[in-house]
Structure 1
Amino acid sequence: MSQPPSPALPGEPKPVTVHIEKWRAALPPDAWPDGFPEVGSVWRRDVFTVAEAWRAGEASPRQLLSAVLMWGYGPIGYGPWRTVRSLEGDPDGKRLAYALEGLCTPAPDEDALRTAYQRLRDPKESRLPRLGPGFFTKLLYFAGYRRGASGRQPLILDSVVWRRLPVDAGVRRESGWVSEEWLAYLGWAADQAHRRGIEPDEVEMALFHDRWD
């Protein structure tokens, strides 16, 4: 009997453990993503499913953010509290919708990526409490990544990835990265992926899991 296909994306070694019952108790009902796993193992594909629903108008920006942060925080105890603080900063989802509007297209370009990043970083536009670059790039990744597309793709940039980036990736500071640093990293990752015949997010996964050589 053949085995069912793996839910893992190429380069994804394992799912993230999520204590679903704690998140259910903490999140506002309107922010819970429909169809999200009811068990404690969450793969990237699960979050991409919510992102696809968001692009189709079947999930709200708040539901997408919740899915991203449940995966992003995983079993970390303060994750639900911080996520609720972020959601409280955008009770109707309009700030998130404004930040992400350019990522709804079939192939977001560099200008769309830059604009989304800048809006999420700017308190006068779409910045939310407890949502710095290490986590809002997770949101940009799931909202804007197009598997199989060429060129720069939005990728996660957090402290773990940053520590393992080479100098030529173009990210100079330890945190609080500006959009041009993020875009430089995306360009470097796209080049590395092209050379190796892999997806750009496989580069990010290899960095995060300390498997990059």
Structure 2
Amino acid sequence: MPDIPSVLQIGEKDSKGRLTLSRGDLFTLGSKVETAQDAVNFYVAVCSWGAGAKARDIYRRIPTLKEPDVGEKLLGGIMLAKDSNVEAEDAYRSFRTSDQYRLKGLGPAFFTKLLYFAAGPTDSKKMRHLILDKKVAASISWPDKTWWTPSEYREYLELINNVVEHLPEAERSDCLEMQLFNP
């Protein structure tokens, strides 16, 4: 049995005594991914954060862990996200296409979280990766679907990064993404 990531053992607790994860915790964990086991631990942490307290969403993330070469595939896509020389669209494509790092049960709503946290925060207002899910897509009046193409992901990043340039109160483009998730 692999070790439980320390970020899932120690930390702040909510009003019910449950451990909580922050975006900062996940950026820290993402920056430390170097092995297939690190990638699996990172996936578990990101999915725990993304699913929150919804048991149904947590349950849906488990089949991915049973996929062949899950650690290596997660690591491959995560390393692309961390590499500033790799276009965001290409890192997205790596998890979306079956010939590279695609995993059953891991769709854009969760693999964009992996990309975002693996790439880490930036000193610029613009970010290379952002989370894209149905709630964010609905907030920008995109069609109700869950599998966006790599070019649609690029267009989404361009849109958010361009809009944030006109919002002096937004520290970075992920601040706008958070507002779109919780309008």
Structure 1 residue 140 corresponds to structure 2 residue 115:
yes
Give 5+ residue unaligned stretches, structure 2.
none
1:91-136 CA distances to partner (integer Å, 9 max, x unpaired)?
551111222222333xx25x43122111101122211121111111
**Does the 8 A contact of 1:159 with 1:175 survive in 2?**
yes
Equivalent residue number for residue 73 of structure 1: 51
**Does the 8 A contact of 1:155 with 1:204 survive in 2?**
yes
The structure 1 segments of at least 4 consecutive aligned residues displaced by more than 4 Å after TM superposition are none
1:112-168 CA distances to partner (integer Å, 9 max, x unpaired)?
3122111101122211121111111111111113322354421111000010115xx
Amino acid at match of 2:51: Y
Distance 2:97 2:65 in 1: 16
Equivalent residue number for residue 128 of structure 1: 103
Equivalent residue number for residue 25 of structure 2: 46
Structure 1 residue 62 corresponds to structure 2 residue 33:
no
Distance 1:92 1:175 in 2: 22
Distance 2:6 2:52 in 1: 18
Higher relative contact order (CA 8 A, sep 6+): 2
Residue 175 of structure 1 deviates from its aligned partner by 2.3
1:19-57 CA distances to partner (integer Å, 9 max, x unpaired)?
xxxxxxxxxx427322335442222112122112226x6
Residue 81 of structure 1 deviates from its aligned partner by 2.6
- Give the 5 Å matches for 1:90-129: 90-91=68-69, 93-105=71-83, 108-109=84-85, 111-129=86-104
Structure 1 residue 36 corresponds to structure 2 residue 8:
yes
Give 5+ residue unaligned stretches, structure 1.
1-28
**Does the 8 A contact of 2:126 with 2:164 survive in 1?**
no
**What count of residue pairs does the alignment treat as equivalent?**
174
**Does the 8 A contact of 1:138 with 1:156 survive in 2?**
yes
Cα 1:126/1:58, change in 2 over 3 Å:
closer
1:157-212 CA distances to partner (integer Å, 9 max, x unpaired)?
1000010115xxxx5562210011111111111111121132000110010110xx
Equivalent residue number for residue 13 of structure 1: none
Q: Name whichever of 93-102 and 135-144 sits farther off.
A: 93-102
Structure 1 residue 86 corresponds to structure 2 residue 76:
no
Equivalent residue number for residue 180 of structure 1: 151
**Does the 8 A contact of 2:127 with 2:174 survive in 1?**
no
**Does the 8 A contact of 1:50 with 1:59 survive in 2?**
no
**Does the 8 A contact of 2:138 with 2:144 survive in 1?**
no
Amino acid at match of 1:141: Y
The alignment's TM-score, normalised by the length of structure 2, stands at 0.83
**Does the 8 A contact of 1:31 with 1:62 survive in 2?**
no
Amino acid at match of 2:4: W
Q: Name whichever of 79-88 and 139-148 sits farther off.
A: 79-88
